[in-house]
Structure 1
Amino acid sequence: MNIAPEESSIKTSVGEKQLPASLRPFFELLDPDSEHPIAQCLLCVKKKTKNSKYKGFKNSLSNWEAHLSCMHPKENRKYRDAKAEEAAKIAKGQHDGNCFCPSKSKSQASQKSLVKITDHFRKDAAKKYSKHHPKQRQITQLLLKSIACDSLPISIVDKPSFRGLLGELNESYAIPHRQTIKETHLPFTEKLVINGIKAEMKSLTSVYVTVDIWTNRQMRSFIGFTVHFVDDEFNLKSRLLCCEHFAERHTAVNIANRYEDVVMRYQIDGKVRRVISDNASSMKKAFDFSLIDIKTTEMKVGNDEDIQFSDKEDFHDPNVDLDTLLALLPKWVSCFAHTMQLCIVHALENINTKLPNEAEDHVSKRVVIHSTITKVAKVARTLRASTTASEFLHKKNVYLLMKNQTRWNSSLKMFRSFVKAGKDVLNAAIDELAKSQKEKSALKLSSTELVVITELVDVLSPFEAAMSQVEGEKNVTISNVCAVVIGLKKSLEGMALILHICQVLSRILVEQVNIRLNPYLEQEDFRFATFLDPRFKADWLQTEEERDLLKQLSAQLTKELLKRKAAIDAENRDSPLDSAGSDHDQTSSSSEEKENAHRGLFSFMRSSMSKKKRKIAGPTQEKILEDEVEKYFAGDCESLDCDVLGYWKNEQRFPHLKIAARELLGMTATSAPSERVFSHAGELYRAKRANLGVKIFAILMLMRINSDLI
């Protein structure tokens, strides 16, 4: 620490301590050894003022200097001049050694060894970037991206340690404050992301939307929309449209209204072909546009509630094709993963339900399966709640899992953890925990129960394999559905023949698959997507009767291709290229009329035409498409590890099928993308950030999921 010359510690030759020479004409030191030495003002004594003694500080003259400055300004100027001269002499080493300061103390000695923190600051600090500087914008965008993607609090920019770090890395960067980020940078970045998503979807004709609702720790609801499509380069894209606070009741009307707001915000009205969600009744009603009776202009939303449209004349226009209008509206599709999970839940919950005229052998097997499932859940809950049992299992590298209603395949994972642990380890853990013999016998697993658990794993494993084929987001899933349904039925039917106890469960699961999953085989989107998958084509059709339907399905596919081509031609009808073509046609027709007039009466005769090449009528567009479809199905299927979109990107033989594949294969089979969005939402709304504002949360979620657009 730098100390002023007059405050330097200098001893006199006789051990006396005096004031600096510049201050001695004005003050007389009375008790220099005191912690707070007292000096008498000689000027105040001359003026005979009531108080002339003033306390000072052990290592400071500031109090006496302040007295001179306030009470004796003329003498203060003399003191300042004398002080400057004395400081110059001391700097040259010409001091008289009679400066006041008590003997060195430990604290003073330590102060001399200290260095001011400002001494480390560069005297030539770099000039800060302006707010429009490219480097300033780049670093700010990276900072915002880190806040959104790494779940950092916005207040981190106000932390001294964080600001010191950024200042050391780039001293020219002007670090924004928290309020600036909230009010300026986040809204700007939100617009940047939204405009980027709009630009990606501008040239598309078909996109697919998933929707779901989530509740956070404070029981506040949020609705999420994701969009999926294949771009011009045949890349599968997924984007988050929004994850916003949904304060309204979860009714069909409110969900539909929010959907309309999002669609209009991104300007994709008329482009959404399908909306995928779970099986909630409100979701189904919100997007089931067949409930709209356009002729009566009423939207049925319940038994007692109807919404009347204000302008009925728009719906009674005779020029409006109602079938065409309904075809433009998106159709609702239930999430395949949720529906498949319902098969498992229903089978496990109703395994103990006796059917009429059922054999006693089957009834007894149902009882054993039900009791085993109940016991496994109880053992897992008991052992996980005990620290003693948990420590014992941890030493054995055994981790038991619990069933979770909101997690797919959680029952299978619980059973599998029991099989991996083994009966001996589990029973030993129960011995460590249970006190009475009765309690031990109630929890210990028998050999028969372990066999049932093993068979349960075998029965439910095909559903896990099926789930991995349809819940992906970075690869095509829509084309796997039909093959997955057939594969599930084949696997379950085969297990019913080899299992001893769980054959009853496998038959129940087959029934559930027929009831809940077979309808997917009848939906055109799933059928056509499977046909357009070069790994499957028509090979997934099993029976001869189904193969006979291939011609009919090919005709439907051709019809669908014609519709798509007509829609694309209608969009391009007003393009400059078409206008030029129409002008060329008019010119050709006028020249032909002149030529016919020149031939006069004989113009009707073909033999009298000029020797130019005659136009020969070619095959119709429908015939071209039929030949293309037939040629495609005649080829061999690709291997199962084939990149579906990569195949169509490089395929040149089937141009019309290529367009259809790009539009159809972008559809996702499940609403799993929305579920993943809410997993990220849970990280943002963790316990320490439970009071995060809903508007800031929506922007952070948009940035986090679409981070590559920042």
Structure 2
Amino acid sequence: MVPFAVKKLRERLTQLASPQNTTTSRPLAQAQLRDFENRWRKATEPTFLGTVERGARDRQVGIHPAFLIASFLDPRSKDMVPDLGPVSERVAAIMVDQETKNREAQCLVAMGTDRAGATSTVDEEVWNWEKEDDFFADLEVDQARSRQGAEAHVGVGGNTVESIVQDELKRYKSFPPLQFRKVLPGGTLTFNDPLKWWEEKAPYFPIMSSLAKAYLSIQATSAPSERVFSAASMLIEKRRNRLDPELAGKMLFVAQNWDLHEKHLQDMLLAAAEQQEGEEVQGSEPPAAK
């Protein structure tokens, strides 16, 4: 009775899954897709179009923004980042903020040094109000400090930090992408190092290079997990696909910790050899005289 019921159930499921007898969900999905295609081609509904574009973007870049920035700052994949505009704007904002803070810090350090020098001069010399040049000299110092503070935001050449950052971004985008691999003179195939590329191009990108070094230090993958998957693929294959899960786990553990096992065996052999050597030395000693 049971085999007959299983047979009938299998026949019924096969019949329902066939293209001639689709379930209710499949026509509904097809109708949704047709409606989406028609509305997308017409693009007469800005709200709908914006929602679709935003949803597609969120699905593609639904990861931490730092990873997108790191991908953009990697010269090998800078042209592969989806929705490059917002990522580039985010990088520009970070660069402006970073460079502004750096220049403000340099300005404060320089102003502190000037003030320390001025204080020591006043302590060493008595203020002489009869000297008319002292007032103008102090005025020139204050003006120089103001210019230095303004340069922290504008720059010596009159270029604002924003314009400098935009120039660097424009130059970076115009550079051809770095190839992932290169062939050494001996014919050896190796990978290009993006950090080495930034080190060589730092004179062209003084602001962006420091930012790239910070973001490219992020680990994109986990090496231990990759090694585990590689070891599992070597242990479990087509001819060994019926291993007991517990046995497969033990084999994987041994494969991942084989170096510790070898060290343990070496320690045991060394201890056994030392013990045997000690016993031989004791056996070779003459008996003590009574």
TM-score clears 0.5: no
Q: Which has the higher helix share?
A: 2
* TM bracket (short chain): 0.3 to 0.5
Larger Rg: 1
**Normalising by structure 1, what TM-score?**
0.18
After TM superposition, the score normalised by the length of structure 2 is: 0.40
- Structure with the larger strand share: 1
